[in-house]
Structure 1
Amino acid sequence: MSSSTALATANFKSKEKSLFTQMLNFYDNKQFKQSLRNADQILEKHPDHPETLAMKALNMNSLKRKIEAFEFIKKALFKNLSNFTCWHVYGILHRSNKNPDEARKAYLNALKYDKDNQNVLRDLGQLQIQLRDYEGYAETRRQILVSKPTVNINWMAYACHKCERALEVLESFDKTLKENKEKLKNHERTEITLFKAKLFEEMGDYQKAINLLQKKGLIVDQISKFRKLAENYQKLGNKDKALEHLEDLLELSSANTNNYYQILAVHGYSNKEFKYSSEDQLKIKEIIEVYENRFPRGNSHQRVLLKILTGELFREKLYQYSKPYLIKGVPPLIVDLKDVYQDKEKTQILEETLLSHLKSMEEKNTLFNDEQEQDPTVYLWLLYYTAQHYYYLRDYNQALKYINEAINHTPTVIDLYVVKAKIYKRAGDREYASKLYEEARKLDLADRYLNAVSSRYLIRADHVEEAEETMGQFSKEGQELNVHDMQCMWYENEVGLSYLRQGNYRLALKNFNYIEKHMEQVFEDQLDFHLYAMRKYTLNAYFQMLEMEDNIYKNKNAVRAAIGIIKTMKKVDKIREEEQKKFQPEFDSYKASTEYIKMCEELKKRDEDDEFKNDFDPKGYDLYQKALQDPIKVAYDFAVLVASCNPEVKEVQAKMIPIYLRKNKLLEALKAVIALTERHPTYEKTLSSRIRFSQHWNSLTEEQRKQAIPDEKLLKVASQEFEALGASDEQSLKNLSEELLNQNLDKIEHVHEYIKTRTVLFKENDTAKYEKVAIDALTNDLRRNFKVHNAANTLKRLTKIGASDVQYRQKAQEVFIHARHFD
């Protein structure tokens, strides 16, 4: 805007020119109200001045008067369609309203009338990379570079291109620096060199990457240098050089276990499952022990061996590794050994080791196979570790036995109450678990971690208000709990799930919706980093950021929120008419309340641009009103983004299939069924999802299928894929359901899904049979302690279909003695 001020004010008198300049300065300093007053003064004498109308629109947009802002910019464009400033502002308004495609069109129109305008080109480039329009971005940055080749940032931005072209650009940049006798700072040169090496590596030219990395004075980040050299030498098959650089890397970073795994890979030991023969284990032990002697103060090498060794070799290494931690009483020891629980033999050895130490401490006050007398606290920590061990095994009775003994021994150790709370949580008593964690928290009121986890336990026990009060103890004095502003997604998910359990679908949806907004905000926020990364020369980190942003919906919180929204909206859809009648009076009452009117008045006075602090719908009434009109659409809009990014997440795919079918998205539903069949054939919902899809497909006429999949080729392929799934007629699907049940009679989750499939999809109601197979599963499932919630869901299902659940409930109470689901 400032570069065209003279032209824009050519017909102005000196006073109006001064007002126009002040208006621009006020806007740059974010004094939008003052800038707007100046615009109004100018427009009194020049009501059709396009640049002033455009500035007025910008100010109104900044003051959240968005509708008026668009009215003024359209008025300005109507007065002068060839004014590039108006088109530029029109693009800015669309960008701020999260409409990037319209913004791009506006910027391109602006360039028709001023093709070399740097501000427009820069904004267009940022928008193109935001939309991942790499070809368009490259052309825009080329135009900027041609007009200003002496600005280094322009070279960096243009280098964000395909490998060969990027290397050419960076070579030209180096020549420009030499011609201008300009030197880069050390970290800037390091970033560019590592980026060039990465490009050579992607092109498969490993020797050129090595040659570049070995040049003196180019790289100050020695860890990255040695790692890249080792990787490239390994790809070339030069083991000696790869090992040499890996050992250089260990000198700088001996605590990184990945370095040891890479050393083993160079030696030819790269089994992803870490399963080796006894002979190979001995060789690996010899290799790693060399580094144990060189770096005796670290423990990463020992952890690598614990992952690989088995049998007596593992027992020996476990004793050596754990002994110092047992003596010092290091709480995370068992957590550090979590990988051990993936192997039954190792788990048994760990148990034997702990029990041997306990017995020895009880009898002689020494550790097993050791004559040195130990402090009584060693016995305390052994009880703690043993309780944790049985907790991981889901042997809750044994875990409680040892943790209670530990508490009786020393009742003031916080970690003991934390473990006891975890045991009760997993055993199915969330209420008592929350009380225990509160007890732990009160032993150290200054601990933020204990505060946060105690809040989580309270939420899981459905004490949301108490949890909010607990979390609020670490908010700034005089401020409300600002978890939404801080994007505290675990809290929002937990609160959403709690409200869902309580049947408060309005607040459940509101909390899940916060996470949807966070995902959008995180993606939008990258807009500020496109040029920042270029200025800082951090090209490697920049491309990592782009990759992260492209996979933003893989975030576990997004996945949990999507599942939560689907569950909530499916429940709402079932009772929509009843819910609408109940909700409307509640909605009208809230909108007319003094609380709501006062809140709106206060929010309108605020100048800060924060959608969470300025939320006009904090209790979710407006959102829920919209959801009640079409709950399935609300579920689909967010969940489809998550599902498309997570084909490997079985629960999301299974829950999306009914949504796809309701939205007549046959192709997407078929893809989800295929993903489940191929990736998760043993998942309990895979067959039921296939049955649901088959029933829907068979119920459609050929014409209806064509409407769902208009492309004839796609429809033909879909039909072939459907046939490839196998039997699809009703009787064959029933037979498959029976076969799967017979294969999984000892699995609680499979029996629950079988009952649901037979009653919901096949409309059968053999309640006596369902109760029998459910009780048999409770009796025979050896992993039942992992499945308390599955058992509780089975009880709900039996009750729902009208089965006599008395025997099942009694059996569940016998099996899950600590759970409260069956009271």
Structure 2
Amino acid sequence: MPQPLPSKEQTLFRSVVKCYESKTYKKGLKAAEQILKKHPNHGDTQAMKSLILNSLNQGDEAFALCKEALRNDMRSHICWHVYGLLWRSVHNYPEAIKSYKMALRLEPNSPNILRDLALLQCQVRDYEGYIESRRKMLQERPQMRQNWTALAVAHHLAGDYAEAENVLQKYEETLKRAPPKSDLEHSEATLYKITIIYESGDTERALKQLEEVVRQSLDRGAALELKAKYLLELGRKEEAEKAYRVLLSRNSEYRAYFDGLEKALGLDRSNDADIEKIDELYQSFASKNERNDTARREPLEFLAGEAFKTQADQYLRRKLAKGVPSTFPNIKSLYRDDEKKAVIEELVLGYASDKKMNGSAEDESNGDTSDRFEQSVLYFLAQHYNYVRSRDLKKAMEYIDKLLEMDPKSVDYNQTKARIYKHAGDVQKASETINHARELDERDRYINTKCAKYQLRNNENETALNTMSKFTRNETVGGPLGDLHDMQCMWYLLEDGEAYLRQHKYGLALKRFTAIADIFVVWYEDQFDFHSFSLRKGQIRAYIDMVRWEDHLRDHPFFTRAATQAVELYIQLADNPKLSSKDQLDLEKLDPTERKKAEKKAKKEREKAEKAEADRKAAAAAKANAKGDDGETKKEDTDPTGEKLLQTEKPLKDALRFLQPMLELSPKNIKAQNVGFEVYLRRNKYLLALKCLQSARELDPENPKLHEQSVRFRQAVNKPAEPLSSQASQVVKQSFTTPPADADLKAYNSDFLTKHAQSAPHLQSAYNVRYLLDSSSKGQNEKDLKKTLELPEITIEEAQAGLALLDEWKSGQEVKDDYRAKAAARWSQATVFKN
């Protein structure tokens, strides 16, 4: 039981609680101290004071005070509840749950403790515990609809569809009168119950209930979509056809509705006999609406031969005559079919050769339309020859230069020219050109963003930040970069980190990649508030979608891209700890006498830097409550350059923060499996390394990195750094058979080399394996690597990977220069091969 207080102090204590809830922390702190002057060991007051201190960012003091409160009053549910809140604030959910459960033992019917426990159980996906907590809350307050809904949600998330439906049904039976039609919560709950029935596999009953409410549903579009979907699945195609036609009358640009209508009509695009009927279907919709695009664009996906050419001609003339800039992006997906690509190229080149350039089927000149059509055609051709499936950068540049002669101030034309330079490998000219495009329209946020991205690709970090600052709140704490962090502008942080990585500024690169990982942590934590908010607002279907999306949060491309590079960087740090100190790497290049002088100088500079750091910390402590120009409290960044991250003593352990979520949530990302193998092999976790190897083999058995890692793993298990247990040896023996245990690895590698003689990445992998097996083959490998530059299909990126391989082999400068010169001769504009 909580310690009793006199009435005056009891009133003060209630004011402390109110001050905390209203966030008037200073007033609450003052009231708590008044109580503690007379009752210094009052546990509940100490607990509330610790909660306020925690809100004031004094976490260490808060924890210490709360522990003291527990020692003074171990039987107080308030102390245990506060202790749980403190643990939750630092995201230690298991400890928070333990504390909440302890508080519930002392106060079993407390609605606040039950609520906090339930929300935390849902956050950690402890659905069994969540069901139990929600059941108790329902028993305490059965009159609240959200308690019934919450229990149904708990059963649904746990996979018990029958019980989830039963809970919702029981609540409906308790209603004495039907809710009004305007009741949004009831409308949502009804559709939610129908989706539960459908997910349980009873589509027939779900449809029956849906038909009863579809007309009254406040989310009419969703209800009609569900009806059409259920009818189609049940094979009631005539009714499904009507349902999809109703949906298309509401939105005739949504392709999914057309797909549903095709299935309802029993039409199959792979069946030649149905193609004409499908085309007639789309033409009927196109004739009803002159502005409809989908009905005119979609037939190009399934038509072929003359029929395709005719409709492609009509479609392209129509779009180009109107001067629609997105014409090429809209049709470039057709380039997967070489025949269609050739037809489109032939058609547009035909327009370009037409002297009148008017875009009309009758070839009648029509003034301004003719000029617009001519520019549209040239712009289309510039994009066509710049596209990867039809790339001819010389022609692309010719067309874009013609356009710039006609309209030198066009932002679109200048941007496309920059993109052509980028594909040619000239990142510097690309950056300069797109900056010129930006200056033509400084109010355009899109071109400003593109310009910053190109500048980062050219390793112009400060210039890019200055460009971004034109559309950021620069008065905020941390300036433009701080605002980009606050806005969670991940593309910028990712490109910024990659630029620093190319410049070997590993600390800053690691800091940016870590910032991206932190954003995903914030996204994960942000769902906590929605566990209660969505129930209060009745938006249950959207809430279920959010929970399922959060379960796969870290398979996002931004996370995997940042995480793989961060893990690779940690692997480099594990292999070469001196990377964390650029000065140390520079010293190794000097002769002994100069090195001694440099070390002495470096020591003095280090002492000076340590003194400056101490002064900075003292100044930061003095300005702890200083505010930025926008009134926000300044947050001191204790590691602005990422040096502390870089100087880790356990890089492989730190890499797990990025690696484990990837392997768990992005198992089909082969790069994640590749870096996972590297980490686990270095940690002598052979079974985990083998698991990554097997996963990569299932994804792509011919992956070049997989070949190299398989050979290395065979070497590792034949002569392990640490003896394998008998069980692990048995698993390796049974599971790892490629290459076989008794294989001649040199012969195995030679077979791989012969098999992939025309693929640069595979050849690079084979040469690296040859070097690993026999370091004396280095000279031959360097010659063979240089020959890969003659392969017709090799890309700039693959050639660059070859240059990195020479660094890995510690090849001489002359060898690297020869390789670079040959690459520069093939890609004359590529800046990466210029000294």
TM-score (norm 2): 0.90
Correspondence list, 1:647-666, <5 A: 647-666=667-686
Counterpart Cα distance in 2 of 1:779 and 1:189: 69
Are 2:733 and 1:719 aligned?
A: yes
Q: Which residue of 1 aligns with 2:755?
A: 743
Please report how far the alpha carbon of residue 368 of structure 1 lies from its aligned counterpart in structure 2 after TM superposition. Answer: 7.8
Q: Which residue of 2 aligns with 1:448?
A: 445
Return closer, same or farther for 1:149/1:578 CA change in 2, 3 Å cut-off: closer
Return closer, same or farther for 1:489/1:587 CA change in 2, 3 Å cut-off: farther
Counterpart Cα distance in 2 of 1:528 and 1:459: 36
Q: For the Cα contact (< 8 Å) 1:752–1:790, is it kept in 2? A: no
Q: Which moved more, 1:379-388 or 1:315-324?
A: 315-324
Give 2:11's aligned amino acid. Answer: S
Give 1:602's aligned amino acid. Answer: K
Please report how far the alpha carbon of residue 278 of structure 1 lies from its aligned counterpart in structure 2 after TM superposition. Answer: 4.0
Correspondence list, 1:116-195, <5 A: 116-160=109-153, 161=155, 162-176=160-174, 178-179=175-176, 183=180, 185-195=182-192
- Equivalent of 1:674, from 684, 688, 694? 694
Counterpart Cα distance in 1 of 2:423 and 2:634: 34
Counterpart Cα distance in 1 of 2:318 and 2:634: 49
Are 2:331 and 1:337 aligned?
A: yes
Return closer, same or farther for 1:603/1:106 CA change in 2, 3 Å cut-off: same
Counterpart Cα distance in 2 of 1:437 and 1:790: 26
Give 1:303's aligned amino acid. Answer: R
Correspondence list, 1:359-438, <5 A: 359-360=353-354, 363-367=355-359, 370-373=362-365, 374-392=369-387, 393-438=390-435
Q: For the Cα contact (< 8 Å) 1:417–1:439, is it kept in 2? A: yes
Correspondence list, 1:211-360, <5 A: 211-216=208-213, 217-268=215-266, 276=270, 278-360=272-354
Are 2:595 and 1:602 aligned?
A: no
Q: Which residue of 1 aligns with 2:815?
A: 804
Q: For the Cα contact (< 8 Å) 1:125–1:137, is it kept in 2? A: yes
Give 2:689's aligned amino acid. Answer: A
Q: For the Cα contact (< 8 Å) 1:559–1:642, is it kept in 2? A: yes
Q: Which moved more, 1:468-477 or 1:745-754?
A: 745-754
Q: For the Cα contact (< 8 Å) 2:824–2:830, is it kept in 1? A: yes
Q: Which moved more, 1:119-128 or 1:545-554?
A: 545-554
Q: Which moved more, 1:294-303 or 1:649-658?
A: 294-303
Counterpart Cα distance in 2 of 1:456 and 1:510: 18
Q: For the Cα contact (< 8 Å) 1:213–1:219, is it kept in 2? A: no
What is the number of equivalent residue pairs in this alignment? 795
User: Per the alignment, in what secondary structure is the counterpart of residue 459 of structure 2?
Assistant: coil
Counterpart Cα distance in 2 of 1:365 and 1:578: 60
Please report how far the alpha carbon of residue 664 of structure 1 lies from its aligned counterpart in structure 2 after TM superposition. Answer: 2.6
Please report how far the alpha carbon of residue 745 of structure 1 lies from its aligned counterpart in structure 2 after TM superposition. Answer: 2.2
Question: Could you give the per-residue CA deviations for residues 431-475 of structure 1, whole angstroms, max 9, x where no partner exists?
Answer: 111111101110110111111111111111011011111111112
User: Per the alignment, in what secondary structure is the counterpart of residue 486 of structure 2?
Assistant: coil
Q: For the Cα contact (< 8 Å) 2:123–2:528, is it kept in 1? A: yes
Give 1:801's aligned amino acid. Answer: S
Return closer, same or farther for 1:184/1:18 CA change in 2, 3 Å cut-off: farther
Q: Which sections of structure 2, spanning at least 5 residues, go unmatched?
A: 585-602
Q: Which residue of 2 aligns with 1:111?
A: 104
Return closer, same or farther for 1:756/1:564 CA change in 2, 3 Å cut-off: same
Are 2:89 and 1:96 aligned?
A: yes
Return closer, same or farther for 1:622/1:185 CA change in 2, 3 Å cut-off: farther
Correspondence list, 1:736-775, <5 A: 736-759=748-771, 761-767=772-778, 769-775=780-786
Question: Could you give the per-residue CA deviations for residues 304-339 of structure 1, whole angstroms, max 9, x where no partner exists?
Answer: 222222332222221122222101211111111121
Question: Could you give the per-residue CA deviations for residues 754-803 of structure 1, whole angstroms, max 9, x where no partner exists?
Answer: 223322x3243535543554454333323x3xx21211221342464348
Q: For the Cα contact (< 8 Å) 1:425–1:433, is it kept in 2? A: yes
Q: Which residue of 2 aligns with 1:77?
A: 70
Return closer, same or farther for 1:62/1:606 CA change in 2, 3 Å cut-off: farther
Return closer, same or farther for 1:513/1:740 CA change in 2, 3 Å cut-off: same
Q: Which moved more, 1:496-505 or 1:259-268?
A: 259-268
Please report how far the alpha carbon of residue 376 of structure 1 lies from its aligned counterpart in structure 2 after TM superposition. Answer: 1.4
Are 2:436 and 1:439 aligned?
A: yes
Please report how far the alpha carbon of residue 658 of structure 1 lies from its aligned counterpart in structure 2 after TM superposition. Answer: 0.8
Q: Which residue of 1 aligns with 2:529?
A: 528
Counterpart Cα distance in 2 of 1:114 and 1:428: 68
Return closer, same or farther for 1:154/1:391 CA change in 2, 3 Å cut-off: same
Q: For the Cα contact (< 8 Å) 1:565–1:639, is it kept in 2? A: no
Counterpart Cα distance in 2 of 1:661 and 1:612: 43
Give 2:451's aligned amino acid. Answer: S
Give 2:220's aligned amino acid. Answer: Q
Question: Could you give the per-residue CA deviations for residues 361-410 of structure 1, whole angstroms, max 9, x where no partner exists?
Answer: xx233348541224212212211110101111232111111111111121
TM-score (norm 1): 0.91
Question: Could you give the per-residue CA deviations for residues 137-171 of structure 1, whole angstroms, max 9, x where no partner exists?
Answer: 01100000001001121111111112111111111
Question: Could you tell me the percent identity over the aligned residues?
Answer: 32
User: Per the alignment, in what secondary structure is the counterpart of residue 775 of structure 2?
Assistant: coil
Q: Which residue of 2 aligns with 1:470?
A: 467
User: Per the alignment, in what secondary structure is the counterpart of residue 340 of structure 2?
Assistant: helix
Please report how far the alpha carbon of residue 10 of structure 1 lies from its aligned counterpart in structure 2 after TM superposition. Answer: 4.4
Q: For the Cα contact (< 8 Å) 2:66–2:79, is it kept in 1? A: yes
Return closer, same or farther for 1:609/1:154 CA change in 2, 3 Å cut-off: farther
Counterpart Cα distance in 2 of 1:181 and 1:244: 30
Q: For the Cα contact (< 8 Å) 1:193–1:218, is it kept in 2? A: no
CA-atom RMSD in angstroms: 2.6
User: Per the alignment, in what secondary structure is the counterpart of residue 484 of structure 2?
Assistant: coil
Please report how far the alpha carbon of residue 518 of structure 1 lies from its aligned counterpart in structure 2 after TM superposition. Answer: 0.8
- Equivalent of 2:717, from 686, 697, 703? 697
Q: For the Cα contact (< 8 Å) 1:798–1:805, is it kept in 2? A: yes
Counterpart Cα distance in 2 of 1:349 and 1:736: 45
Counterpart Cα distance in 1 of 2:618 and 2:421: 45
Q: Which residue of 2 aligns with 1:592?
A: 612
Return closer, same or farther for 1:236/1:676 CA change in 2, 3 Å cut-off: same
Please report how far the alpha carbon of residue 289 of structure 1 lies from its aligned counterpart in structure 2 after TM superposition. Answer: 2.6
Are 2:34 and 1:55 aligned?
A: no
Return closer, same or farther for 1:146/1:757 CA change in 2, 3 Å cut-off: same
Q: Which moved more, 1:343-352 or 1:117-126?
A: 343-352
User: Per the alignment, in what secondary structure is the counterpart of residue 115 of structure 1?
Assistant: coil
Question: Could you give the per-residue CA deviations for residues 668-718 of structure 1, whole angstroms, max 9, x where no partner exists?
Answer: 2222211211111232212112222222222228x7322xxx9x4x76445
Please report how far the alpha carbon of residue 43 of structure 1 lies from its aligned counterpart in structure 2 after TM superposition. Answer: 0.5
Return closer, same or farther for 1:241/1:609 CA change in 2, 3 Å cut-off: farther
User: Per the alignment, in what secondary structure is the counterpart of residue 483 of structure 1?
Assistant: helix
Counterpart Cα distance in 1 of 2:327 and 2:80: 63
- Equivalent of 1:616, from 627, 635, 638? 638
